Amino acid sequence: MRPFTFERATTPAAAAEAVAHFPDAKFIAGGTNLLDLMKLQIETPAHVVDVNPLGLDRIEPTSDGGLRIGALVRNTDLAADARVRHDYAVLSRALLAGASGQLRNKATTAGNLLQRTRCPYFYDTNQACNKRQPGSGCSAIGGYSRQLAIVGTSPACIATHPSDMAVAMRVLDASVETVRPDGRTRVIPIADFHKLPEETPQVEHALEHGELITAVTLPKPLGGVHLYRKVRDRSSYAFALVSVAAVIQKGGHGRVALGGVAPRPWRDETAESQLSNGSKAVIDRLLGDAHPTNENAFKVPLAQRTLAAVVAQARA
């Protein structure tokens, strides 16, 4: 780990200002991803601002019947919250499908959204990676790509976003609340939060340097059957090959997003309108622009079959 100076935040705006002040400063919340990357010198902040003293750990009702989740609510507490289990079960299910008990006790809501890819070429500092070292190339293309993305990719990057939680947040149309270094706040719809790689895979989200997430809000409950199905190489504590988050209503219509296949949670509202025509019709539209490698082409039929299983489970 590179040496860094350390500061405990006092207010959200002061924390944002403290990070904005240094070009290579970082917030630390749960630390479960950042410290892993700092040990490998993939992340090398010179200044670290600990946001844990800020609180931001409450889950409160909003005036329009939804929920406001503090940025520092731990994954365990969010998954176990009675309102989330009852009204947003797809979110509980997605959180519980991710990581381990120990990690969920520490990992935060905001940190989960900001976690970095687990692409093996991003993690190996001897390999070219446009995300880690812009302009160095992408060793994953033509490399070991079984786990990697099939859609939303670019000639510069084929990494996936690893989060389960974010896939459920996308299906629920969550919003990300932030404070900027000058104290102004804004709300970013989850659909606009994660960026596609295009020519700049190092730009992963819509936040400015120093902009701090303070909360994630959920609109009022959708009803319906909430399901999250994750297919992976072992039955626990592994990242998704493919995952499906779904909220299916009586009559068979609903919402669907995929994880494990793209640089961000993958949802297309026009694809969902095909739900009554079967899972193949949905996947044909959702993954119509897919460019899989030979090693991960299996993800297309796997996504279709996983969605078919989810739809059948919703009907049962």
The residue from 9, 42, 72, 89 that contacts another protein (CB under 8 A) is 89
Question: According to the binding rule CB under 8 A, does residue 102 interact with another protein?
Answer: yes
Nearest distance from C-beta of residue 109 to another protein, angstroms: 16
Name the burial class of residue 284, with classes exposed (0-12), middle (13-18) and buried (19+) by CB atoms within 10 angstroms of its CB.
middle
Is the CB of 5 or the CB of 11 nearer to another protein? 5
Residue 72: how many other CB atoms lie within 10 Å = 23
135 binds another protein (CB under 8 A): no
Q: Which range touches another protein (CB under 8 A), out of 72-80, 181-189, 288-296, 298-306? A: 72-80
For another protein, the binding residue among 58, 86, 146, 315 (CB under 8 A) is 86
- Least CB distance from residue 223 to another protein, whole Å? 15
**Residue 96 within binding range of another protein, rule CB under 8 A:** yes
Q: Which is nearer to another protein, 89 or 138 (CB)?
A: 89
CB 2, min distance to another protein, A? 6
Query: Would you give the distance in Å from CA 153 to the centre of its chain?
Result: 16
101-140 burial, b for 16+ CB within 10 Å, e for fewer?
A: eebbeebbbbbbbbbbbbbbbbbeeebbbbbbeeeeebbb
48, 52, 54, 210 from 132: Cα distances, Å: 19, 27, 30, 19
99 or 150: whose CB is closer to another protein?
99
Q: Which two tokens stand for residue 127?
A: 């390999």
Asked whether position 310 contacts another protein by CB under 8 A, the answer is no
Q: Which stretch binds another protein (CB under 8 A): 78-86, 194-202, 264-272, 295-303?
A: 78-86
C-alpha 53/C-alpha 40 separation (Å) is 26
The contact pattern for another protein, residues 160-199, with x = CB under 8 A and - = no contact, is: ----------------------------------------
* 127: contact with another protein by CB under 8 A: no
Q: What backbone torsions phi and psi does residue 157 show, to the nearest 5 degrees?
A: -165, 135
- Selected binder of another protein within 14, 22, 106, 297 (CB under 8 A): 106
| CA–CA separation, 63 and 159 (whole Å) | 38
Cα atoms in the 13 Å half-sphere on the side-chain side of 78 = 36
Three-class secondary structure of residue 229 per DSSP: strand
Interacting residue with another protein among 39, 58, 220, 315 (CB under 8 A): 39
189 and 169 Cβ atoms separated by less than 8 Å: no
Using CB under 8 A, which residues numbered 207 to 266 contact another protein?
A: 235-237
- Kindly state whether residue 97 participates in binding another protein, applying the rule CB under 8 A: yes
How is residue 307 written in tokens? 């969605």
Q: Would you state the structure tokens that stand for residue 270, as one six-digit string?
A: 């026009």
List residues binding another protein (CB under 8 A).
1-6, 8, 28, 30-32, 35-36, 39, 41, 48, 50, 52, 76, 79-80, 82, 85-86, 89, 92-93, 96-97, 99-103, 105-106, 235-237
